[in-house]
Amino acid sequence: MVFDYYPGCTLKTEARELDEAGRRSAAALGIELQELDAWQCCGAVYPLGRDEIAPRLSSVRALAAARDHRRDLLTLCSACHHVIKRVNHDIRTDEKIRDTANSYMEGEQAYQGETKVVHYLEMLRDTLGFDELKNRIKKPLTGMKIGAYYGCLLLRPGKVMSFDNPENPSIMESFITALGAEPVIYPYRNECCGGYITVKEKDQAARTASRVIDSALEHGADCLITACPLCLYNIDVNGTSSKDLPVYYITQLLAQALDV
């Protein structure tokens, strides 16, 4: 199976390990990732204003390129996934946004929302299957107690993201089980890490991240996994909890278990 792949800016810089481990693992699993040759930054936050057209264009261009290649568009970063998936929904449901965005795309075939956006975890669940993933594991993570940290962007709003049950998700726990480790359920797994607020509101960021860490520690997690570079940063750098809680990218543990 071949996917068009949209890595995003942070995966080329600070979160290189999220990208590289993801590529190594996909190759080992027989999934081909073709990086789009001219992707642009997704803008990191979804444009909530209905009148914001320019911040939607990079997503539309990536979506249209995947449509032209007749492939699904695979994402890995939670933020890129959130932005591109929601812009795709706008194009499908909001005529004004669709027409205005397409007016900037002169010379190309109008984009109508044809492309399917697939997150890496969805690919593992729906294309490969977690049972098959379990069969391919070379070094199971036996004995590790891992807390899935979903955060916000993969899940909400549930009606648009259609990723999993937004209040009681299970996809990352199934992933952890397939790797041979033990998933730890804790109440703050789908609460916010603080997001961009870390840039200017350090106290608020510290309190928000610490609530997630304390909740996971209380329920016995040895570490957390995430698909979001900003979640990883906030948990790792801004937490003020008494005990350290390591946090890894989903693909780092996947690559470790696949021994690639």
* 46 DSSP 8-state letter: -
Quick note: the x/- pattern for other proteins over 183-202, rule CB under 8 A, is --------xx-xxxxxxxx-
204 counts as binding other proteins under rule CB under 8 A: yes
DSSP assigned state of 32: E
Position 244 contacts other proteins (CB under 8 A)? no
Angle formed at CA 39 by CA 89 and CA 229, multiple of 5 degrees: 80
Q: How many CB atoms lie within 10 A of CB 131?
A: 9
Stretch that binds other proteins, among 58-66, 113-121, 179-187, 229-237 (CB under 8 A): 229-237
Binding letters toward other proteins, positions 23-62, x by CB under 8 A: ------------------x-xxx--xxxxx--x-------
| CA angle centred on 225, ends 142 and 211, rounded to 5° | 120
Helix ranges restricted to H, 104-249: 120-122, 130-136, 158-161, 171-178, 202-218, 229-233
Q: Which is nearer to other proteins, 14 or 108 (CB)?
A: 14
Write out the two tokens for 181: 């480790």
Instruction: Compare residues 79 and 146 and give the one whose CB is closer to other proteins.
Output: 79
Stretch that binds other proteins, among 9-17, 56-64, 118-126, 249-257 (CB under 8 A): 9-17
Q: Assess 206 for contact with other proteins (CB under 8 A).
A: no
How many Cβ atoms sit within 10 Å of the Cβ of residue 229? 25
Provide, rounded to whole angstroms, the least separation between the CB of residue 8 and other proteins: 8
Residues contacting other proteins: total by CB under 8 A: 44
- Residue 218: which of 189, 191, 198, 195 has the closest Cα? 189
The closest of 2, 10, 1, 73 to 36, measured between CA atoms, is 73
Q: Does 14 interact with other proteins (rule: CB under 8 A)?
A: yes
Interface positions with other proteins (CB under 8 A): 8-10, 13-15, 41, 43-45, 48-52, 55, 77, 79, 152, 155-158, 166-167, 191-192, 194-201, 204, 208, 211, 229-230, 232-233, 236-237
